[in-house]
Amino acid sequence: MRPPAARHDRPPTAAVFDLGGVIIRVRVEGMFEYWSGITGAPAERLAHAVLADGAYREFERGEMTPCQFHRHISGVMGIDLDFEQFRRGWCNVFDGLYDGTEQLLGDLSASMRIVSLTNTNELHSAMWRPLYDEAMSRFEAIFTSHELGARKPEPQSYHAVLDYLGEAPANVAFVDDRAENIEAAERLGMRGILVEDPADIRRSIRKMGAAV
């Protein structure tokens, strides 16, 4: 059972962070450029085929294995990729951390609990965890959609995090770059921070009364 609702005029005692677009720079175009370079197919056509198909959502819920997803996406794009070519392209999206991220996470972790909730998949998770190991170590826990079997903005993904924290939702700041994810968090009583510029995260948390 969760604690009773807290007052919004108090500083948050925990923060939940998205990763891509908030902590980690993501350049989706990189995967299509990689596959285009191998096959000669136009990157724009490949991007349209994959994004319109939407099977990546199933992959992010862990409902498809990497091999199943590889076969499916290769068919959707109409190109012949072996698994390693597919994997390299699929993971060619990470573009470093946003400036000041490690300092922000370090400062926050000294005064509140911080965890992450991210829509991701088995192949991407295997890349960003070691690639940004130092920053990831600042989080008390990292919840991934493919391990939870649910992705934002599906309520069960938020409930898993709130159950782990054991905090009243009003004590939890939820930081994400997608409005639909923020709206879902706020419907559950969390305090949303919609990220338009990652450099503004510190200021936004301070406005909630946190000492950071």
Give 10-residue mean pLDDT values along the chain (212 residues): 49 96 97 97 96 95 98 96 98 96 92 96 98 96 98 98 97 97 98 92 89 76
104 and 198 in a single domain? The answer is yes
Indicate which CATH number applies to the domain containing 71. 1.10.150.240
Collect all residues with Cβ–Cβ distance below 8 Å to 154 and sequence separation of at least 6.
184
- Residue 207's identity, in one-letter code, is K
Residue 84 lies inside a defined structural domain of this protein: yes
Domain count, the chain: 2
Q: DSSP character for 107?
A: H
117 and 161 in a single domain? The answer is yes
> Which among 9, 18, 82, 197 is annotated as catalytic?
18
Q: Residue 118: in which H helix or E strand, if any? A: strand 113-118
pLDDT value of position 212: 76
Indicate which CATH number applies to the domain containing 136. 3.40.50.1000
Q: Active-site residue 133, yes or no?
A: no
Collect all residues with Cβ–Cβ distance below 8 Å to 25 and sequence separation of at least 6.
94, 95, 96, 97, 98
Rounded Cα gap, residues 26 and 93, in angstroms: 5
The SS3 of residue 4 is coil
